[in-house]
Each structure stands twice: as C-alpha cells, then as structure tokens.
Amino acid sequence: MIRLVYVSTCAQNVQLDDVESILRVAESWNADREISGMLCWSGEFFLQCLEGERGPVTQCFAHIARDRRHHSVELIVSSPTTVRWFSTWGMGFTRLMSSGRVDLPNFAGGSFNPYLLEATDLQDTFARLASQAQRLSVDP
C-alpha cells in the first residue's frame, strides 16, 4: 500500500459546483478501487491525499494530473505505508477558505499555500484538516 500527496493550483474558473462533481466521481472511483483519502480546497489550491494499493493509486493520480480544472500539479510524497490515515473515507473533504475555518499553525494569517508544506508536516496537517472534514459534504 502507498500514500500519495499532491498539491495543485485551481484553474481560474473552478467553483464549488466543480468540486462537488470531483467529489462525486472520486467517491465512486475510489470505492471500486479501495482507495481512501481526503481532498482540501481553498478556492485557489487543492491538497489531496490518496491511499491504497500502488497500481490503483498511481492510475488515479495519473488521471487527476490530466484534469484541466487545475495545473502546476506537484507531488509532495509517494511512499509505502501500512496504516491508512483515512481508512473509512472514499474521499473526505475540507473547504479551506479565507475565514480561517481550519487552524493550521504553519499557515499564519489564514493564508493557505500547500506548496509550502514539508513532507514531515503532512500527518499533523491532515489530522487537523480531518478533524473538520466531511464525507461528500461541501457546505461552507
């Protein structure tokens, strides 16, 4: 099993409806392939974690990387793991907006830039994000 985390920049026209569509497709796709994970969206950036067997996760990431709703896709980590962070979620979701909804100490002033994340910070960051995440809920 592997854990893969990437960041990307949203295309200019990405709206909440687009993210809802992404989540619906991800829930179905991931359930069929035993992939778990979490998607974080700030309106400007995506941060996503995918967990599962190497083949399905790699295939999923290749599909995601080609999606025109984002660009500047950067892989932060892809490493073997024996423990899932999101074992009960096909795809959790957190909406990170300027309201500072989630308290992340490494993003002072409510400015969320996932390109600044270090691989060593990921577990703590995702744990904080997961505490306020929902399953397929995109309510503000």
Tell me the CA end-to-end span of the chain in Å, nearest whole number.
33
CA 83 vs CA 35, 40, 118: distances in Å: 13, 20, 20
Q: Is 94 exposed, middle or buried (0-12, 13-18, 19+ CB in 10 A)?
A: buried
- State pLDDT tens for residues 41-69: 888 889 999 999 999 999 999 999 999 99
Residue 135 is which amino acid? R
Q: What is the pLDDT along the chain (140 residues), one digit of tens a residue?
A: 999 999 999 998 898 899 988 888 888 888 889 999 989 888 888 999 999 999 999 999 999 999 999 999 999 999 999 999 888 888 888 776 544 445 555 554 556 677 777 777 777 777 777 766 554 444 43
- 8-state DSSP, 69: T
Q: Domains, the chain, ranges and CATH?
A: 2-135 (3.30.70.100)
Classify the phi-psi angles of 139: left when phi > 0, otherwise alpha if psi is within -120 to 50, otherwise beta.
Answer: beta
User: In angstroms, rounded to a whole number, what is the distance separating the alpha carbons of residues 76 and 93?
Assistant: 19
Cβ–Cβ under 8 Å, residues 69 and 123:
no
pTM of the full predicted structure? 0.82
